[in-house]
Amino acid sequence: AAPAVNGPEKIVQNVCAACHGADGNSVITTNPKLAGQHPEYLVKQLTNFKEGTRANAVMSGMAGALSQEDMEGLAKYFSSQSIKLNKAKSNGKGSLGEKIYRGGIAATQVPACAACHGATGAGLPKQFPRLAGQHADYTLQQLRTFRTGERANAPMMMTIAGKMSDAEMQAVADYIQGL
Q: Does 5 bind ligand HEM (CB under 6 A)?
A: no
Q: Is 11 in the site for ligand HEM (CB under 6 A)?
A: yes
Q: Which residues pair with 114 in a beta bridge?
A: none
Q: What is the Cα–Cα distance from 132 to 109, expressed in whole angstroms?
A: 23
Q: 151 has which bridge partners? A: 54
Separation of alpha carbons 29 and 123, rounded Å:
20
Which C-beta is closer to ligand HEM: that of 54 or that of 92? 54
What separation in angstroms does the CA of 97 have from each of 83, 94, 101, 105? 21, 8, 6, 10
At its nearest, how many Å lie between ligand HEM and the CB of residue 52? 12
Q: Does position 179 bind ligand HEM by CB under 6 A?
A: no
Between the alpha carbon of residue 2 and those of residues 5, 41, 173, the distances in Å are 9, 32, 41
**Binding characters for ligand HEM, 14-53, by CB under 6 A (x = yes):** -xx-xxx---------xxx-x--x----x-xxx-------
CB of residue 129 to ligand HEM, shortest distance in Å: 4
Sorted by sequence, the CB contacts under 8 Å of residue 50 that are 6+ apart come out as: 60, 63, 64, 66
Within 82-111, the residues that bind ligand HEM by CB under 6 A are: 100, 110-111
Between CA 151 and CA 22 the distance in angstroms is: 26
Helix (H, G, I), strand (E, B) or coil at 25: coil
Cβ proximity to ligand HEM: between 42 and 83 the closer is 42
Q: What is the number of residues in the chain?
A: 179
From 29, 47, 56, 60, residue interacting with ligand HEM (rule: CB under 6 A):
56
Which DSSP letter does residue 88 get?
P
Please report how close the Cβ of residue 104 comes to ligand HEM at its closest, in angstroms.
7
Binding site for ligand HEM (CB under 6 A): 11, 15-16, 18-20, 30-32, 34, 37, 42, 44-46, 56, 58-59, 62, 74, 100, 110-111, 113, 115-117, 127-129, 131, 139, 141-143, 153-154, 156-157, 160, 172
